[in-house]
């Protein structure tokens, strides 16, 4: 799966914007517009301080536009509106613009909060849709740790990246607005400070590079950590019983330390960026003032307003740099997410277009050949499964039993028109329709951390009708008796992976769930191989009692499980096969007789 998408190259600034835009669309421009409005209102409010100071200093109670440069347009606008620039009027106008700035700032923060939640939801829902539609053969090759980390930790980190990125854009826009206002007030001084600001930004380039690389390593190590964690939980009993958990813990510890080391690097870089930000701002401001006064021989009064704008602008620039570095600290997660979603999009299975309302007659397998990486597993197979028949599939390990079943239920796409369901090519059937009619019970019981009732009904809304249907399914699965003896009956919590139940009980719950669904085809994939004799006997009684009421495909390690099957498909180690009843195969197949002789049937 990972071979399909080439390693992402250095992602540019606009590429990140396209990533967020792909999820939020034009809503991002509304947020950016509000950012511009906040800066503009703040700038106009600051403009009012200069005539205010002049009015106070002159003692006339009148404000004028001296030293405001082209920004005196604000006072001209007041005059046009009939507002005399008195001290009181200027104060009221100043308050008005700062109140409006506060309202705009609230609107911006509120809207960004909404977008933040929307972004996370769209990303999670989109990824779940892609995962649900992922081709099974590609899923089987994927790293469980990468999937786990991408769906959990990476989403959180990308959400942080979103906040930092748009905070950076907000302050970038505000910086631009302040620079523009400063240029309007005093073009010469504005150019000097702008050049100084750009030069100061070079000091952050190495910080950005180190932070970005550390972020990529964090993502890689988190994928490893999640994989180790999943394996340690699923294998906990074995690891604990053998004390191998101590050695395995060392692998997890190394991964944790590696993540912490990279996080520390990111934290140090953020600390450096924060600590040098304000001194650099002041260096630029002081240098600009000295050049303006000593080189160009201009008075300080001419640059006061421009200086106000630039101090605001350089402060915004520093905050922008800090936000950008924080963004780079989690930007590796964006690259990981882009690669992950691109892979899933590339490997979406063909859902099929022909509606399927139920299994009516037969499944035909015609000249089926299948293999992995040019290694054949099934060769030229042809047989028929009639409705309500029980088909046994036996053979040595690696002979292709599970592969054959995965082909029959559509998990693996059969080549050409080699599997027909009621005369229709399986590849063309609507996969969702078809699989809703397929029940699957595996060797490892598929139960979920919830109540017995929810495991059987698969979280269907509770009602009297639902409970009655659950009881009927439990009875058919020979599970009603032991469920009735549980502390809370149907409402008993079965624990993580059904830890509160025995292996046989979990298996019968799994069978009950498939019977509750009223499927047409029931697949039992070595459903008794891990059970004790008593549990195996009960499951065998299930199979015998269901014969003739549902089409069953039974993969069996123990031949006793399929001794009464209508047909048995016997797969040989050389990938050839034989078909017949238990008795007929015993008569004509030496290999089958040898298998029987090794077991007590």
Residue 121 has pLDDT above 70, yes or no: yes
Helices 244-290 and 205-234: crossing angle, nearest 10°? 160
The rounded distance, in Å, linking the Cα atoms of 256 and 554 is 44
Cβ(421)–Cβ(553) under 8 Å?
no
| pLDDT tens figures, 134-157 | 888 888 887 777 887 787 778 888
The rounded distance, in Å, linking the Cα atoms of 164 and 170 is 10
Which tokens hold the place of 117? 């939640």
- 384: part of which helix (H) or strand (E)? strand 375-386
Residues 6+ apart with CB under 8 A from 80: none
Cα dist from 402 to 164, 378, 412, 444, whole Å:
48, 11, 11, 14
Strand order in the sheet with 567-571: 438-441, 521-525, 551-555, 390-395, 567-571, 577-580
Say what the pLDDT of residue 56 is: 46
Q: Give me the residues paired with residue 364 across strands.
A: 384, 420
End-to-end CA distance of the chain: 43
Q: Which residue has the higher pLDDT, 333 or 51?
A: 333
Q: Which residue has the higher pLDDT, 421 or 325?
A: 421
In the chain, % of residues over pLDDT 70: 82
Across the range 75-99, mean pLDDT stands at: 71
Q: Which domain holds residue 230?
A: 13-346
Across the range 482-508, mean pLDDT stands at: 85
The rounded distance, in Å, linking the Cα atoms of 181 and 72 is 11
Say what the pLDDT of residue 110 is: 87
SS3 readout for 442-499: CCCCCCCCCEHHHHHHCCCCCCHHHHHHHHHHHHHCCCHHHHHCCCCHHHCECCHHHC
Which tokens hold the place of 292? 């303006």
Residue at a domain's end among 346, 371, 387 = 346
Q: State the residue for tokens 């000593």.
A: 294
Pairing of strands 567-571, 577-580: antiparallel
Across the range 570-592, mean pLDDT stands at: 87
Same domain for 118 and 248? yes
Same domain for 334 and 382? no
Same domain for 292 and 422? no
Pairing of strands 521-525, 551-555: parallel
Which tokens hold the place of 532? 């004790």
The rounded distance, in Å, linking the Cα atoms of 121 and 278 is 37
| Secondary structure of residue 532 in the 3-state scheme | coil
Residue at a domain's end among 312, 346, 380 = 346
Cβ(328)–Cβ(322) under 8 Å?
no
160: confidence class by pLDDT, cuts 50, 70, 90? confident
Residue 587 has pLDDT above 80, yes or no: yes
Same domain for 244 and 368? no
Say what the pLDDT of residue 267 is: 78
Classify residue 46: in a domain, yes or no: yes
Concatenating the DSSP letter of every residue in 208-226 gives HHHHHHHHHHHHHHHHHHH
Same domain for 324 and 396? no
CATH of the domain at 104: 1.20.1560.10
Rounded-to-10 torsion of CA 547, 552, 554, 558: 0
Q: In the chain, how many domains are there? A: 2
Same domain for 300 and 413? no
Across the range 591-596, mean pLDDT stands at: 84
| pLDDT tens figures, 166-212 | 888 888 888 887 777 777 767 776 677 667 767 766 767 777 778 77
Say what the pLDDT of residue 155 is: 83
Residue 245 has pLDDT above 50, yes or no: yes
Classify residue 537: in a domain, yes or no: yes
Say what the pLDDT of residue 62 is: 45
Q: Which residue has the higher pLDDT, 589 or 287?
A: 589
The rounded distance, in Å, linking the Cα atoms of 397 and 166 is 56
Cβ(552)–Cβ(524) under 8 Å?
yes
Cβ(166)–Cβ(114) under 8 Å?
no
Classify residue 293: in a domain, yes or no: yes
Residues 6+ apart with CB under 8 A from 240: none
Which tokens hold the place of 521? 């085809």
Say what the pLDDT of residue 468 is: 92
Cβ(285)–Cβ(307) under 8 Å?
yes
Classify residue 448: in a domain, yes or no: no
Classify residue 466: in a domain, yes or no: no
363: confidence class by pLDDT, cuts 50, 70, 90? very high
Residue 570 has pLDDT above 60, yes or no: yes
State pTM to two decimals: 0.70
Q: Which residue has the higher pLDDT, 558 or 340?
A: 340
Across the range 155-165, mean pLDDT stands at: 86
| Secondary structure of residue 429 in the 3-state scheme | strand
Say what the pLDDT of residue 163 is: 86
Same domain for 380 and 236? no
Between vectors from CA 507 to CA 501 and to CA 511, what angle results, nearest 5°? Answer: 130
Same domain for 243 and 103? yes
Same domain for 326 and 386? no
Burial label, 366 (beta-carbon count in 10 A; 0-12, 13-18, 19+): middle
In sequence order, which ranges of 133-186 are alpha helices (DSSP H)? 136-139, 144-151, 153-185
The rounded distance, in Å, linking the Cα atoms of 571 and 573 is 7
The rounded distance, in Å, linking the Cα atoms of 504 and 511 is 11
CATH of the domain at 584: 3.40.50.300
Residue at a domain's end among 346, 381, 398 = 346
Classify residue 17: in a domain, yes or no: yes
Same domain for 334 and 432? no
Say what the pLDDT of residue 50 is: 59
Residue 384 has pLDDT above 90, yes or no: yes
Same domain for 319 and 429? no
The rounded distance, in Å, linking the Cα atoms of 320 and 535 is 66
Say what the pLDDT of residue 593 is: 85
422: confidence class by pLDDT, cuts 50, 70, 90? very high
Classify residue 498: in a domain, yes or no: no
The rounded distance, in Å, linking the Cα atoms of 126 and 132 is 10
Same domain for 332 and 366? no
Residue 3 has pLDDT above 50, yes or no: no
User: Mean pLDDT, the chain, as a whole number?
Assistant: 79
| pLDDT tens figures, 30-61 | 888 888 888 888 777 766 665 555 544 444 44
A 10 A CB-CB count for 441 gives 25
Residue 72 has pLDDT above 70, yes or no: no
Across the range 382-400, mean pLDDT stands at: 89
Cα-Cα-Cα-Cα dihedral sign, residues 21, 179, 113, 104: negative
Classify residue 479: in a domain, yes or no: no
The rounded distance, in Å, linking the Cα atoms of 366 and 239 is 46
| pLDDT tens figures, 275-291 | 776 777 777 777 777 77
In the chain, % of residues over pLDDT 90: 8
Say what the pLDDT of residue 355 is: 92
């Amino acid at each position: 799966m990972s071979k399909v998408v080439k390693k992402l190259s250095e992602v540019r600034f606009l590429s990140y914007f396209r990533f967020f835009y792909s999820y939020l669309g034009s809503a991002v421009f509304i947020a950016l517009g509000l950012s511009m409005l906040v800066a503009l209102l703040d700038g106009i409010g600051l403009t009012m301080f200069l005539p205010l100071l002049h009015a106070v200093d002159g003692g006339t109670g009148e404000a004028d536009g001296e030293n405001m440069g082209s920004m005196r347009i604000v006072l001209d606008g007041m005059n046009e509106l009939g507002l005399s620039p008195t001290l009181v009027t200027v104060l009221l106008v100043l308050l008005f613009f700062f109140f409006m700035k506060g309202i705009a700032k609230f609107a911006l923060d509120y809207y960004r909060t909404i977008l933040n939640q929307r972004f996370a939801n769209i990303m999670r829902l989109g990824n779940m849709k892609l995962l649900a539609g992922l081709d099974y053969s590609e899923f089987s090759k994927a790293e469980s740790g990468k999937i786990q980390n991408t769906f959990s930790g990476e989403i959180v980190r990308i959400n942080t990246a979103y906040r930092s990125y748009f905070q950076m854009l907000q302050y970038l826009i505000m910086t631009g607005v302040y620079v523009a206002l400063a240029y309007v007030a005093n073009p010469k001084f504005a150019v000097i400070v702008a050049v100084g600001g750009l030069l100061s930004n070079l000091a952050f380039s190495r910080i950005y590079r180190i932070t970005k690389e550390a972020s990529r390593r964090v993502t890689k190590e988190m994928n490893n950590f999640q994989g180790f964690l999943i394996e340690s939980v699923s294998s906990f009993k074995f690891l604990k019983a053998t004390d191998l958990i101590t050695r395995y813990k060392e692998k997890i510890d190394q991964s944790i330390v590696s993540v912490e080391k990279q996080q520390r690097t990111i934290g140090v870089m953020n600390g450096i960026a924060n600590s040098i930000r304000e001194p650099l701002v002041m260096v630029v401001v002081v240098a600009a003032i000295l050049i303006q006064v000593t080189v160009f021989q201009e008075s300080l009064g001419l640059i006061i307003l421009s200086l106000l704008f630039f101090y605001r602008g350089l402060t915004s620039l520093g905050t922008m740099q800090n936000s950008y570095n924080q963004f780079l600290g989690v930007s590796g997660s964006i690259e990981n997410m882009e690669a992950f979603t691109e892979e899933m999009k590339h490997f979406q299975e063909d859902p099929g277009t022909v509606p399927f309302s139920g299994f009516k007659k037969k499944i035909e397998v015609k000249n089926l050949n299948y293999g992995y990486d040019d290694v054949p597993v099934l060769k030229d197979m042809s047989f028929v499964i009639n409705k309500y028949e029980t088909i046994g599939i036996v053979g040595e390990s690696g002979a292709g039993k599970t592969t054959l079943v995965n082909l029959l239920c559509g998990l693996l796409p059969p080549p050409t028109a080699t599997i027909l369901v009621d005369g229709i090519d399986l590849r063309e059937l609507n996969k969702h329709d078809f699989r809703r009619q397929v029940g699957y019970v595996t060797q490892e019981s598929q139960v979920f951390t919830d109540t017995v009732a929810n495991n059987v009904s698969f979280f269907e809304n509770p009602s009297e009708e639902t409970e009655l249907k659950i009881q009927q399914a439990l009875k058919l699965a020979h599970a009603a008796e032991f469920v009735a003896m549980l502390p809370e009956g149907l409402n008993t919590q079965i624990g993580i992976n059904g830890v509160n139940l025995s292996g046989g009980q979990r298996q019968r719950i799994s069978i009950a769930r498939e019977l509750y669904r009223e499927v047409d085809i029931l697949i039992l994939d070595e459903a008794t191989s891990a059970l004790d004799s008593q549990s195996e006997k009960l499951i065998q009684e299930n199979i015998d009692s269901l014969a003739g009421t549902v089409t069953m495909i039974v993969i069996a390690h123990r031949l006793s499980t399929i001794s009464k099957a209508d047909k048995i498909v016997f797969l040989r180690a050389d990938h050839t096969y034989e078909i017949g009843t238990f008795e007929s195969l015993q008569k004509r197949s030496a290999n089958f007789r040898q298998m029987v002789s090794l077991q007590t049937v």
